[in-house]
Amino acid sequence: MPNSPNNHTIQKGDNITYVGVGTVQKPTTKSRFKMFLPIIPLIVIVLILVYLFPSQSSNSTTFNIHGAVLGTQMSQKPGLTVNGTFCGPGIRQVDWSNYAPYCEPKFSGNNGGSTSFGVTRTTITVTSRVPSSSLNSLAAAFFPASMVGTAAQATQTFNTYVKLFNNSFELYGRHVVIVPFNGKGNELSELQGQGLEQAQQDALTAKSLHAFADISLLSSTQIYDQYLADEKIIAIGGLLQPQYWFQQYAPYEFSPAPTCNSDAEVTATVLGRSMAGLPAIFSGDPKMQHTIRKFGIIYPQNPNYASCALELVSILKNKYHTNVVRQIAYSINIAEGESQAKNAVAQFQTRGVTSIICACDPLFPIFLVQNATAQKYYPEWLALDFGDIFGQKIAPTSQWENNIAGGITSPPKIEQEAYRAYKLEDPTGTPSPEFAAIYEPLLQLFTGLQAAGPDLTPETFAEGLFSMPTSKPGGEFGKWKYGQDVFSPVDSFQVLRWSPTTVSQQDGLKGSFIACNNGKLYTFSTSGATSLPNHVQLSCPEP
């Protein structure tokens, strides 16, 4: 899977329509960010959070790792770990995680003390921002509290995992101290490309609290993460960013999700091999089911995200000789969501589009399918998997039965690693409904801390993660595979179809994604999607 940045720029002759005009606040003269319209994510509800707000920073650089990793060197030594596991060749630090690093015998001796800003002989300071306003208020307008949980539940779950990880991972005589703070930044404003000064002030606050890293989880934004990087603070966030963004801010940006470049390539491969040139059999329109597919695409008019959407279009055209007949860029503005969706649907229908590639934020598909139904238009939907609760919100329109997505099916909750880990620390407690979204980035953080060895710095943190072994098979997040400049380890996916009657393993309600092609797992790093039979329809169970 190529990791080089996509350099496609929008040209005058490109067949792209813009719908809607968003309001963008201009940055102050002190800001070092260029303003672009953003993509709004909603990871407050599920794992996937699309942070797409590009920056030009004087502190950005390309980061390269050289040299041996202390944590890896020590992994083959016998002895008991801090959690009582007998350590030896190939043994993982904990037996309850498929993603754990190789084991480290319990450390003794001099760890070097203050090896980096935010690190002392006994502590590693990690901040967690509570913004002045968050996506919770927006989520409450669309989803009941029983689905998304409360802030108190999220905090309790967060603290439970931190306690477990502090007692389970080798931190070389140190332990992680979480320092929450009330920020000035408004998460909703930042996700719309505004509130830059407040986001920068919050990053400076994290600096004043001596943060080595920040893990604001469900309240981080791309803007905030970039300002953290400027202050040389590691951020675990920035999901679905382009590869060049991670390289630009290395070694300070990491994510437990794939880059949008990888998503673009594998999506184009699935479409090119299993859908292009074939009838739109997943459409809700009987006539359309016998019509050869015509693709349209819609995405936020933001340079970072647009670059990946246009990369997908380019791969389809150049590698699979398939044109996307209508490209539409929309602005992220909830107030204009209805009108923009109505306009877009009308354009797709006029051009005879049978299959809509919806590279959208989590909320915009709600507007799209409602307007498609109103216009008696039932195309195939090729959208991102934002989790079952989103599909359950969309499903009453019946349009979502026509949706094909990429992702990983979830096992029953009691079999999920994140749930079992929570119960190890708090057997009688109940985690937040968002427990998996809280667990995964914390797992990446503590993995990097152990793999860095005693000489903890941002550079050794990155070096440690890059040297991590591939995860064991069967993990609920799919395959994790690190390597040089791999800031986002997810390396596998399944092709999914929405089923309104299947009970979700996420919330126990009807409505869930089910796997196509007998649940086959495809990889990112080895272009595994090319194993799909060429010019053969996907085999997906009927909803």
Q: Which two tokens stand for residue 75?
A: 């992994």
Question: Would you say residue 62 has pLDDT above 50?
Answer: no
Assess whether 190 and 273 both reside in one domain: no
Q: Which two tokens stand for residue 196?
A: 């830059």
Whether residue 4 is contained in a domain is answered as: no
| Strand pairing report for 86-87 and 79-80 | antiparallel
Q: Given this model, what pLDDT does residue 30 score?
A: 36
Whether residue 272 is contained in a domain is answered as: yes
Q: Which two tokens stand for residue 83?
A: 């959690």
CA proximity to 280, closest of 372, 373, 379? 379
Question: Would you say residue 447 has pLDDT above 60?
Answer: yes
Assess whether 435 and 318 both reside in one domain: no
Whether residue 473 is contained in a domain is answered as: no
Residue 86 Ramachandran class (φ > 0 left, ψ -120 to 50 alpha, else beta): beta
Q: Output 7 or 432, whichever has higher pLDDT.
A: 432
Whether residue 140 is contained in a domain is answered as: yes
**Tokens 């709004």 label which residue?**
40
Whether residue 474 is contained in a domain is answered as: no
Q: Given this model, what pLDDT does residue 34 score?
A: 33
- For residue 235, the enclosing domain spans 31-258+414-466
Compute the half-sphere exposure of residue 113: CA atoms within 13 Å on the CB side of its CA.
Answer: 1
Mean pLDDT value of segment 170-177: 98
Share of the chain above pLDDT 90, in %: 59
Q: Given this model, what pLDDT does residue 81 score?
A: 96
Mean pLDDT value of segment 47-53: 32
Whether residue 17 is contained in a domain is answered as: no
Residue 403: which H helix or E strand, with range? Answer: strand 403-407
Q: Given this model, what pLDDT does residue 68 score?
A: 39
Q: Given this model, what pLDDT does residue 331 score?
A: 85
Question: Would you say residue 196 has pLDDT above 60?
Answer: yes
Q: Output 181 or 14, whichever has higher pLDDT.
A: 181
Question: Would you say residue 167 has pLDDT above 80?
Answer: yes
Most confident of the ranges 98-102, 145-149, 302-306:
98-102
At 192, the pLDDT band (50, 70, 90 cuts) reads low
Assess whether 378 and 433 both reside in one domain: no
Q: Given this model, what pLDDT does residue 144 score?
A: 57
Assess whether 233 and 119 both reside in one domain: yes
CA proximity to 106, closest of 169, 192, 177? 169
Assess whether 304 and 178 both reside in one domain: no
Assess whether 110 and 249 both reside in one domain: yes
Whether residue 284 is contained in a domain is answered as: yes
Assess whether 189 and 44 both reside in one domain: yes
Q: Which two tokens stand for residue 468?
A: 């991590």
Q: What mean pLDDT is reported for the chain?
A: 83
Whether residue 275 is contained in a domain is answered as: yes
> Do you find a cis peptide bond into 441, omega within 30 degrees of 0?
no
pTM: 0.82
Contact 254, 465 (CB under 8 A): yes
Assess whether 133 and 69 both reside in one domain: yes
Assess whether 283 and 418 both reside in one domain: no
Contact 334, 86 (CB under 8 A): no
Q: Output 306 or 115, whichever has higher pLDDT.
A: 115
- What digits encode the pLDDT tens for the residues 83-105? 999 999 999 999 999 999 999 99
Kindly report which listed range (25-34, 143-152, 164-173, 232-241) carries the lowest average pLDDT score: 25-34
Q: Given this model, what pLDDT does residue 535 score?
A: 95
Rg for the chain (alpha carbons), in Å?
A: 23
Q: Output 136 or 296, whichever has higher pLDDT.
A: 296
Instruction: Work out the end-to-end distance of the chain between its first and last CA atoms, rounded to an integer number of angstroms.
Output: 32
Assess whether 392 and 424 both reside in one domain: no
Mean pLDDT value of segment 113-126: 98
Q: Given this model, what pLDDT does residue 190 score?
A: 81
CATH no. for residue 278? 3.40.50.2300
Q: Which two tokens stand for residue 93?
A: 């630090």
Assess whether 498 and 373 both reside in one domain: yes
Residue positions counted in the chain: 543
Q: Given this model, what pLDDT does residue 204 score?
A: 98
How many domains is the chain partitioned into structurally?
A: 2
- Sign of torsion, CA 148 152 157 161? positive
- 3-class SS string, 506-542: CCCCEEEEEECHHHCCEECCCCHHHHCCCCCCCCCCC
Share of the chain above pLDDT 70, in %: 82
Mean pLDDT value of segment 362-379: 92
Q: Output 50 or 95, whichever has higher pLDDT.
A: 95
Assess whether 47 and 196 both reside in one domain: yes
